[in-house]
Amino acid sequence: MAVSTFDNVASTLTAGTDLTVNFHHGPLTLFGGGSAYHYRSDAANLAGDLSTRTFIWSVRMNGTWKLSPVTNLQGSGNYRAASLTEGGTQGASVFMNFAMRRKLWGDKGSLTLRVADPFNLLTYGYRTLDARVDEQSERHFGVRGLFITVSRNFGQQLKLRPRQQDAEPQAAPGPPGP
């Protein structure tokens, strides 16, 4: 059995940036991005002064390749680098998905084959290390799997109409005339 307790640090400051890029060329569509930021905490109010300063970064990517008008392949992945925390470290995290989708019955359905976490990399871990404690924890989420989805839509597709614009702008209501 493990029991964890938490104390609040006096203050934290996070400053950074995020970049997102979309690219489309022929049958290929790529979406990617990343984040980078500096994290600083003042934990002088806690026993042992667990204050920390660290640089944290992560990347993400999603790619789709259109094999034909009815079939496409897709892959996605996320990576978050290991970083310092108050009194320890947080481990890196990786997640990936791959899928193939085929439209069926025109645009009324599809068959999708998806592989989640194919390399069994999804974990979360941390280590707390100070003069009193040396604790390490790593959790595996067990989401690795193969999924087959068949979907079928019945009835008519919802047709949205653009909102009607007034031909003449209406004057703002004011006080009644004399």
Given this model, what pLDDT does residue 5 score? 59
Nearest residue to 75 via CA among 30, 112, 34: 30
- The neighbouring-strand residues paired with 143 are none
* Under 8 Å between Cβ of 119 and 145: no
Given this model, what pLDDT does residue 90 score? 87
Given this model, what pLDDT does residue 72 score? 95
Nearest residue to 76 via CA among 44, 40, 32, 35: 32
Write the DSSP symbol of residue 74: E
State the amino acid at position 105 in one-letter form: W
Mean pLDDT of the chain: 84
Mean pLDDT of 107-127: 87
Given this model, what pLDDT does residue 23 score? 95
Given this model, what pLDDT does residue 124 score? 80
**Dihedral over Cα of 90, 20, 103, 100: its sign:** negative
pLDDT at 6 over 70: no
Tens-place pLDDT, residues 47-80? 777 788 989 999 999 999 999 999 999 999 999 9
Given this model, what pLDDT does residue 171 score? 59
Given this model, what pLDDT does residue 176 score? 60
Tens-place pLDDT, residues 135-171? 888 887 778 889 999 999 887 767 778 887 776 666 5
Report the alpha-carbon distance of residue 94 to residue 144 in Å, rounded. 12
Nearest residue to 80 via CA among 22, 39, 134: 39
Tens-place pLDDT, residues 71-111? 999 999 999 999 888 878 888 888 899 999 999 988 889 99
